[in-house]
Amino acid sequence: MTGEKPVIVLVRPQLGQNIGKAARAMLNFGLTELRLVAPRDGWPNPEAGPAASGADVVLGRAEVFDSVADAVADCSAVYASTVRRRDLMMPVVGPEQMAAAIRSLRGRAAILFGPERSGLATEDVALATAIVTVPINPEFGSLNLAQAVILLAYEWSRGSDLAQPPAKELEAPAPQKDLDGLVGQLEDHLEAAHYFFPPERTVATRQTIRTILTKARWSSREINAVRGMLRAIAEPRRR
């Protein structure tokens, strides 16, 4: 087994039954870490167990978070399982590319799945490092939650026993919380400089900032260096 197992993050899942089915699909391919962001009907959910068909170990260890940002704070790579989003400028990979990247990652990866009905919201996808899209029949494009989970879990497991040592990245990309720290600091500086104008553009601008900084894939050390430079530029008088 190379690389850490990815974490499966269900964002605002609706039915307990589907959480159970997702847990079963995970365990079929050896994945055990499930995180739930604001499950609609609370947690634990009595409908999850029967649907898990014995994958209770996954449900028992499931952790609940208030936000996607909290759920992926310790992850160095975050994949958003969704269809292509033309509104976001992000890398789009297939399941195979994602699996290979996860196996060679130093640090943990998370895979985000959206609510059954609506899928991931734009602001959830924006937190990811890449979109992962299963190439399905363009004329019939709906995968249910457990099916999406099982396909990506299967794809991850395909290469997990391969003996060849994958090329490792030199320095691990920083965990998401470090990236969040950089984004927050830059936004504070920009706020102080009255950069966010006009107000109606602010959300899009913040989105762009996050996308640009996410793309850089900096390590924690590099992020610290950038934060130091920004601080120096923003507060020159202190020095």
Q: Are strands 34-37 and 7-11 parallel, antiparallel or unpaired?
A: parallel
Residue 138: C-alpha distances to residues 49, 58, 96, 133, 135 (Å): 34, 33, 19, 12, 8
46 binds a copy of itself (CB under 8 A): no
| Nearest-approach distance from CB 38 to a copy of itself, in angstroms | 25
Taking CB under 8 A as the rule, does residue 122 contact a copy of itself?
no
Q: Is the bond preceding residue 138 a cis peptide, omega within 30 degrees?
A: no
Give strand ranges (E) for 18-135.
34-37, 63-65, 75-81, 92-93, 108-113, 130-132
Shortest Å, Cβ 56 to a copy of itself: 10
Query: Which CB, 66 or 236, lies closer to a copy of itself?
Result: 236
Q: Which among 34-42, 50-58, 66-74, 119-127 is the span making contact with a copy of itself, rule CB under 8 A?
A: 50-58
How far is residue 92 CA from its own chain's centroid?
13
172 lies in the binding site for a copy of itself (CB under 8 A): no
Instruction: Find the shortest distance in angstroms from Cβ 207 to a copy of itself.
Output: 11
Output the smallest distance, CB 12 to a copy of itself, in A. Answer: 21
What angle (nearest 5°) sits at the alpha carbon of residue 128, between those of residues 150 and 91?
90
Least Å distance between CB 191 and a copy of itself?
Answer: 10
Q: Please identify, using beta-carbon distances, which residue of 37 and 180 lies nearer to a copy of itself.
A: 180
- Taking 3-state DSSP, the helix, strand and coil percentages for the chain, each rounded to the nearest 5, stand at 45, 15, 45
Is position 146 an interface residue for a copy of itself (rule: CB under 8 A)?
A: yes
| Pairing verdict, β 7-11 and 130-132 | unpaired
Binder of a copy of itself out of 46, 66, 117, 194 (CB under 8 A): 194
Interacting residues with a copy of itself between 72 and 111 (CB under 8 A) = 84, 89, 91-92, 94, 96
